[in-house]
């Protein structure tokens, strides 16, 4: 995350941008499917908290971890960031969640190098349209495929 790109912009401008970002095809259906099957859902993003919070609020995500831009007293972005999720941080965050929640199954979905530490901690990793050199236990092109993999995992476990 290059917070300096946002330097000088206001909080209202960043929130307006975050509200304009479109969802990936299939994300609403995937979240609904996960909720119906009693999954706890977490966003672990090395991007901006304002965008991750919007997704969590609109789609019903349980946990959100992302980076916070720092604003001055006038609500203007300073160009600095509170890096809650650094390059290797996703694995540590997922490990902490696993220790706290003790889930039967942990599934990580991601696309980049910063997801690899999370993939190593998860029971099952799914790389969606992965960057070159990034591989999960499953490599897919769509969130519909992610849902079918998870459906298969649920059926295997008899849930």
- List the domain boundaries for the chain: 1-24+46-84, 87-159
How far is the first Cα of the chain from the last one, in angstroms, to the nearest whole number?
A: 39
Residue 110's φ and ψ, nearest 5 degrees, are: -165, 180
* Residue 159 pLDDT exceeds 70: no
pLDDT of the residue at 50: 93
**What is residue 22's three-state secondary structure?**
coil
**H-assigned helices in 5-111:** 11-20, 27-36, 49-59, 89-101
For the whole model, what pTM was predicted? 0.92
Containing 119, the helix (H) or strand (E) segment is helix 116-121
Do β-strands 124-128 and 107-110 pair in parallel, antiparallel, or remain unpaired? parallel
Which residues contact residue 141 at a Cβ distance below 8 angstroms, ignoring those fewer than 6 apart?
A: 128, 129
Cα atoms in the 13 Å half-sphere on the side-chain side of 101? 17
Percent of the chain predicted with pLDDT > 90: 91
Lowest mean pLDDT among 14-23, 43-52, 61-70, 78-87: 78-87
Using the Cα atoms of residue 37, residue 40, residue 45 and residue 49 in order, give the sign of their dihedral: positive
- 56-89 residue pLDDT tens: 999 999 999 999 999 999 999 999 999 899 877 9
Containing 124, the helix (H) or strand (E) segment is strand 124-128
Question: How far is residue 25's CA from residue 27's CA, in Å, rounded to a whole number?
Answer: 6
Within 10 angstroms of residue 12's Cβ, the number of other Cβ atoms is: 9
């Amino acid at each position: 995350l290059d917070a300096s790109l946002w330097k000088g912009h206001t909080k209202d401008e960043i929130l307006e941008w975050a509200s304009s970002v479109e969802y990936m095809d299939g994300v609403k259906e995937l979240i609904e499917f996960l909720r119906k099957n009693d999954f706890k859902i977490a966003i672990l993003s090395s991007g901006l908290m304002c965008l991750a919070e919007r997704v969590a609020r609109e789609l019903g995500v349980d946990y959100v971890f992302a980076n916070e831009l720092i604003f001055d007293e006038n609500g203007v972005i300073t160009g600095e960031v509170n890096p809650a999720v650094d390059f290797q941080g996703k694995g540590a965050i997922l490990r902490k969640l696993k220790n706290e929640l003790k889930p039967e199954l942990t599934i990580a979905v991601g696309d980049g190098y910063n997801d690899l530490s999370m993939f190593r901690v998860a029971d099952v990793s799914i790389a969606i349209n992965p960057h070159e050199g990034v591989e999960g236990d499953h490599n897919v092109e769509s969130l519909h495929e992610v849902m079918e993999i998870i459906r298969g995992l649920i059926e295997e476990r008899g849930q």
